[in-house]
Amino acid sequence: MAKKQEEIIKEVRRNYQIVFGSKEGAAVLADLENRTGIHTSTFDPDPYRSANLEGMRAVTLWIKTMLKPQPTEKKNG
């Protein structure tokens, strides 16, 4: 039987938490935060560059969203 969409999302979220919860994963995430500008504006007069920067920023924000526990999840998994 195929997994339900909700189960798949939970499993993927758990995988993100395992990977980025490690010391190495935390270092990679910190590097991504610095390189993709999540703490700064992505505005650029060139709309193509601005779109590119915002796309990079969105990926890092997505990873950070996947690391946040959901209200229905226990902290210890």
CA distances from 28 to 5, 10, 31, 58, 67 (A): 28, 22, 5, 16, 14
pTM of the entire predicted model? 0.81
**Domain range annotation of the chain:** 5-67
Rounded distance between C-alpha atoms, residue 16 and residue 35, angstroms: 19
pLDDT at 55: 96
One digit per residue, pLDDT tens: the chain, 77 residues? 578 999 999 999 999 999 999 999 999 999 999 999 899 999 999 999 999 999 999 999 999 999 998 887 655 54
pLDDT at 76: 54
Max Cα-Cα span within the chain: 51
pLDDT at 75: 57
Asked if residue 20 lies in contact with residue 26, where contact means CB atoms within 8 angstroms, the answer is: yes
